[in-house]
A = this chain, B = another copy of it.
Amino acid sequence: MTLNGGNAASGLATGMEMFALAERLYLINRSITGTGVRETLKIISEIIPGLSMHEVPTGTKAFDWTVPDEWNIATATITDPDGGRVVDFANHNLHVMSYSIPIDAQMSLEELQPHLHSLPDQPDKIPYVTSYYKRDWGFCLTHRTRESLLHGTYHVKIDSTIEPGSLTYGELVIPGEHPDEILLSANVCHPSMANNELSGPVVTTFLARWLASQPRKYTYRIIFVPETIGALVYLSRHLQHLQSHVDAGFVLTCCGDAAEFSFMPSRTGGTYADRLSRRVLSKLQPGFREYSFLQRGSDERQYCSPLADLPVVSIMRSKYHEYPEYHTSNDDLSFITPGALQQSLEVYVQVLLAAESNCIPLTTVVGEPHLSKYGLYPATGGQINQSKVSMTLDLLAFSDGQTDLLEISDRTGHDVLDLRRLTNHLAALGLLQFEHGFHT
């Protein structure tokens, strides 16, 4: 798979550059609030300087939700009866359940057990567990370690704070020629996991950098939000604007591993975002896997909800919940690759180029134009196979003022970008006219 839009070459990141950002962000402890999110956004803003950071105070309402207290953590350990540190947050961010309240206590193994999380079926992985809205504490560890714990008295210590503060999100609006928007949304709330979720913000960052370097029909709204509460906060602040401006939106997630591409459609399944994605995936990876919206699990849950009803989809590789490393310590930097990140960036570039290129052409001529006059058709006839010189004729045949290039591409198999270049050429010759065809 290669990028066939020549104009896309400039400013497009390499896989190594993308992977380096993932490495730099990996060890930061993120949650839905706290310093980890701010630190992450600051690093991202080194690459896309226009990124603005927004702080939303604890207690702010977002529809049915409320921004919770801010959580931060310094250290956390479990010391066993022999004085050994059997679990230490310093070794892995996943060792502490996100939003664990502070504790400093001695207790028996039996008392400790209800606060331990492990995966009996995957005994060497540390699970990722959160408790954002119920005050509790917990440690996550491999099941192998858990089973080796001896009876006796344990010292449990979590040095964390949960107190009024704010939720942080990042936003970058890259204006285009037209007020219609394409929304790109990624999560910045996952600690120390690579595919879900550093691949999303990493690809989004470099997609944003590339967009800023390109001529643009569309205005691009790029947001980095904590999952669920962040998306809802953002929706609550911008709902009317988004509903009246967003032509297509994408949740970028799980796009760093080596698996084939897969697709999560919108709730209705027929939005412009669905059409753009299916067209590009059909071309790049025929027979790509399309999930059911019933298998959704990221912020399309909020964006596609009935009263928001935004046209939002996801192009992923291994989908959340569908790979064994998901939400465990094995979703680490070895699970993602520079090449996969780069390909994912390129797929999204293709999708955005399709959106930028799409238009609704209308032929100006009754019948076929006399193409050989324009050097567009062989002058010597009789042995010409129509289906071999067909792109020009096919484009003209479907340029009825009602069919956009996406659909012409669906029907003819010709690439959208190729069709757009040809549209420009035929328009310059006066053989057709077109308009962009925004969707709001």
The 3 closest A-B pairs by CB, nearest first: A134-B379, A306-B400, A297-B386
- For residue A49, give the distance in angstroms from its CB to the closest CB of chain B: 31
Segment of A169-177, A277-285, A387-395, A417-425 in the binding face: A387-395
* A294 proximity list for chain B (CB < 8 A): 387, 390, 394, 411-413
Q: Would you mind naming 28 contact pairs between A and B with Cβ atoms under 8 Å apart?
A: A64-B368, A64-B373, A66-B370, A128-B383, A129-B382, A130-B381, A131-B381, A133-B370, A133-B379, A134-B379, A136-B379, A136-B380, A231-B367, A235-B366, A235-B367, A267-B398, A294-B387, A297-B386, A301-B386, A305-B368, A306-B363, A306-B396, A306-B401, A307-B367, A308-B366, A309-B400, A321-B386, A321-B387
In the complex, the answer to whether B365 meets A397 with C-beta atoms within 8 Å is: no
Chain A residues proximal to chain B, CB less than 8 Å: 62-66, 97-98, 117, 127-134, 136, 138, 228, 231-232, 235-236, 239, 267, 293-297, 301-302, 304-309, 321, 327, 362-363, 365-370, 372-373, 379-383, 385-387, 390, 393-394, 396-401, 411-413, 431
CB distance from A328 to the nearest CB of B (A): 9
**Given A64-B369, A301-B386, 5 additional A-B pairs, CB 8 A:** A64-B365, A64-B373, A133-B373, A236-B366, A306-B398
Residue of B129, B134, B385 near A321 (CB, 8 A) is: B385
Is the beta-carbon distance between A239 and B366 smaller than 8 angstroms? yes
- In the complex, chain B residues whose CB is within 8 Å of the CB of A308: 366-367
Contact between A386 and B296, CB atoms less than 8 A apart: yes
B131 touches A365 (CB 8 A): no
Contact B380 A130 (CB under 8 A): yes
Pairwise interchain contact B305-A383, C-beta atoms closer than 8 A: no
- Indicate if the CB atoms of A368 and B307 lie closer than 8 Å: no
Q: Considering the chains assembled together, what is the distance between the CA atoms of A321 and B307 in angstroms?
A: 51
CA gap between A232 and B128 in the complex, in Å: 69
Q: Is the CB of B132 within 8 A of A381?
A: yes
Asked if A134 contacts B380 (CB within 8 A), the reply is yes
CB distance from A143 to the nearest CB of B (A): 13
**A138 neighbours in B (Cβ, 8 Å):** 380
Chain B residues in 8 Å Cβ range of A366: 63, 232, 235-236, 239, 305, 307-308
